[in-house]
Amino acid sequence: MTATKEHVTIKGNKDGLIFLFNDHCEFPVLLSELQYKLEKTHQQILSGPTINVHIKLGNRDLNVEQEEKIKKLVSNHGNLLIQSMESNQKDIKEENHDLKIIKGIIRSGQSVHYETPVLFMGDVNPGGLISSTGDIYVMGSLRGLAHAGKTNTGNKEAIIAASYMKPTQLRIANIVSRSPDESADEGAYMEFAFLEDDHMQIGKISELHKVRPDALQF
């Protein structure tokens, strides 16, 4: 292997080793270079105590099979222990914009989670939980708990909208908010909740396009 440009860069820090993978080459190339480096040029790291390895994939997104291949290759060398495998792509991947449309009623004690934005046609009752990695739109009464933007890092751009907004609690990303203890019965217009400077705000649905100009996609 005589690559002119290195696709795999191995760096050390106090935690162990960081493998930086170039995201502008094909996966097999990457894999063979990794193998080459591990077996030929960097044998010295393979002896000695266990070394923690953090893999940074750049903007590359791996499928399960590819991930397995890398894991297998690295763990073949006894003392290397994969601690993490990170991709910048991850957040983009989780922001799946395909709206999922669901019908039903979420009753007390029931919970549903979707990896996409969700349009729920029905009621969410007190004690029920609906969560999504993206936005949640409830065409019905939201009386239970809704958690939008529920990703590992938290998607703070997510919103929760409901025809009748009377939730026990709202969560967007990692921000939790509850209804005021004394809530006046307001008019029956559709509302949505969003985050502004990490504070939960409620607005009329007609304000949505001002708050999230990209929320509506034609």
Partner 1 sequence: MGEAIVITSGKGGVGKTTSSANIGTALAMLGKKVCLLDTDIGLRNLDVVMGLENRIIYDLVDVVEGTCRIAQALVKDKRFEELYFLPAAQTKDKDAVQPEDVKKIVDSLKPDFEYIIIDCPAGIEGGFRNAVAGADKAIVVSTPEMSSVRDADRVIGLLEASDIKNPKLIINRVRPNMMKSGDMMDIDEVCSILAIDLLGVVPDDQQVIKSGNIGEPTVMNPTSNAAVAYRNIARRILGDSVPLMALERKKGVFYKLKKIMGIG
Nearest-approach distance from CB 128 to partner 1, in angstroms: 8
Residue number, 117 or 144, with CB nearest to partner 1: 144
Q: How far is the CB of 192 from partner 1 (least distance, A)?
A: 22
Q: What are phi and psi of 136, to 5 degrees?
A: -125, 125
Q: Which is nearer to partner 1, 50 or 108 (CB)?
A: 108
Smaller CB distance to partner 1: residue 140 or 149? 140
Residues 128 and 144: beta-carbon distance below 8 Å: yes
Least CB distance to partner 1 at residue 98 (A): 27
In whole angstroms, how far apart are CA 56 and each of 20, 82, 180, 211? Answer: 5, 11, 44, 34
Q: Give the residues lining the site for partner 1 (CB under 8 A).
A: 105, 107-110, 123, 125-128, 141, 143
User: Between 125 and 133, whose beta carbon lies closer to partner 1?
Assistant: 125
Closest separation between CB of residue 115 and partner 1, Å?
23
3 state DSSP class of 42: coil
Report d(CA 79, CA 105) in Å as an integer: 52
Distance of CA 40 to the CA centre of its chain: 37
